[in-house]
Amino acid sequence: MSTYDLLNKDILARYLPADMLDKVIILQSVDSTQNEAKRLNCKPPYYVVAEQQTHGRGRYGRKWYSPEGGLWITFVPKLRWGFDRIHLYSFASVLSIYAVISEYGISSWIKWPNDIFVNDSKLCGILVESEAISSELKRIFLGIGLNVNNTFEDVGMPYKAVSMLHLLGKKVDRNLLLAKIIISLDRFYMNDDESIFQEYVKLCGTISKRVKFHIANKTIEGVAIGISSTGSLVVSSSTGIHTLAFGDVFEQELDVMSPDLA
Ligand code: BTN
C-alpha cells in the first residue's frame, strides 16, 4: 500500500477542524479497536481507528476479518442516552454511515438493526458494546466496520460481503472518507431523538420484508411491520405479533436461517 493510502493525521487535517482531529487516534495494528477504546482513558468523544485488527469481532462473537484497506473504527461518543434509549446510538451511527456512502453514489439499504447492505451483500456492520456501573451506562463503544479498499477471506459468514472498491471500480481515499464519517457522526448525534428515529424508520429496508428468525428453538416466519419506540423489530406472523429486541433476521427469499438470538 502506498503512503498516500495509509491513514494519516496530516492528510486528515486537510478535511477536519483541529478540535475533531485531536479526538482521532490512528493505530497501525491492534487486537480490536473496541478493546483499545476501552483501555484508553480519554474523555469522550474519541475515535480509535486501525489499519488492521488481529482480533476484530462482530456481533454474536463472530470474527470480523479486518485486513488493511478497510475502515475499522470505534467511536466513543459523549453520553447522551441511557440504557432505555440505547438503540438511538446505534441508529444515529448507521444513519451517519449510510449518508456518507450515499454521497459516493452507492445505493444501499439499512438492515435492522444496524447493517448496511448493497443488494444481498454486506458493506458495513456495527457492533455496540457498553460499560456500566450499577446498571448505569458509563461508556458506549460503537464499532464500525466498513469495507472500503479491502479484500475478503471466507470466514464462514452467513452473508456475502462487498467493498466500496468493488462497487465503484476504483480505490477510495480513506482519509477523506474517514473525515466525512467523523463529520457525519458528529452531525447525526446533534439531531433530536424523534428525527433520528423517524429517519431510521424511513430508511430501514427490513420493514415490509418477509423475515425468518429463531426464538426459543422455534423458527418464526412473518412480515416485519415496523420498529418499536425502543428500537425493536416488530414482526407479524400467523402466531401473532413478535417484538425482537436484538438478533439477526433474514429475508426469506435469501433462504438463510437465522444463526441465533443469544
Ligand atoms: C457486525 O457483526 O456486523 C459488526 C461488525 C463490527 C466490526 C467493527 S471493526 C471496528 C470495531 N472493532 C471490532 O473488533 N469490531 C468493530
Write down how long the chain is.
262
Query: Domain limits at 145?
Result: 3-203
Q: What is the mean pLDDT of residues 48-72?
A: 95
CA of 238 to the centre of ligand 1 (A): 35
Cα–Cα distances in angstroms (integers) from residue 58 to residues 2, 55, 141, in the given order: 28, 10, 13
- Does 10 or 260 have the greater pLDDT score? 10
Q: Which of 49, 66, 115, 174 to mutate to test the pocket of ligand 1 (most atoms within 8 A of CB)?
A: 66
* Same-domain check for residues 150 and 59: yes
Check residue 262 and give its pLDDT. 22
Query: Which residues does ligand 1 sit against, CB inside 6 Å?
Result: 32-34, 53, 56-59, 62, 64, 66, 72-74, 115, 125-127, 143-145
With b for 16 or more beta-carbon neighbours within 10 A and e for fewer, the 184-218 pattern comes to: bbbebbebeeeebbebbeebbbbbebebbbbeeee
Which domain CATH number covers 221?
2.30.30.100
Q: Structural domain tally of the chain? A: 2
Question: What confidence category does residue 214 fall into, taking pLDDT thresholds of 50, 70 and 90?
Answer: confident
Smallest CA separation from ligand 1 atom 15, residue: 57
Contact present, 114 and 128 (Cβ < 8 Å) = yes
Residue 235 lies in a domain: yes
Q: How many A from CA of 32 to the centre of ligand 1?
A: 8
How many other CB atoms sit within 10 Å of the CB of residue 34?
24
Inside any domain, residue 262 = no
Residues 48 and 90 in one domain: yes
Q: Check residue 196 and give its pLDDT.
A: 97
Q: What is the pTM of this model?
A: 0.92
Domain check: are 181 and 243 in the same one?
no
Whether 197 and 93 share a structural domain:
yes
Alpha carbon nearest to ligand 1 atom 8, residue: 145
Whether residues 82 and 137 share a domain: the answer is yes
Domain with residue 35: its CATH number is 3.30.930.10
Please tell me the predicted confidence (pLDDT) of residue 248. Answer: 59
Same domain, yes or no, for 40 and 160?
yes
pLDDT one-digit tens code per residue, 82-133: 999 999 999 999 999 999 999 999 999 999 999 999 999 999 999 999 999 9
pLDDT range class, residue 159, cuts 50, 70, 90: confident
Confidence of residue 255 (pLDDT cuts 50, 70, 90): very low
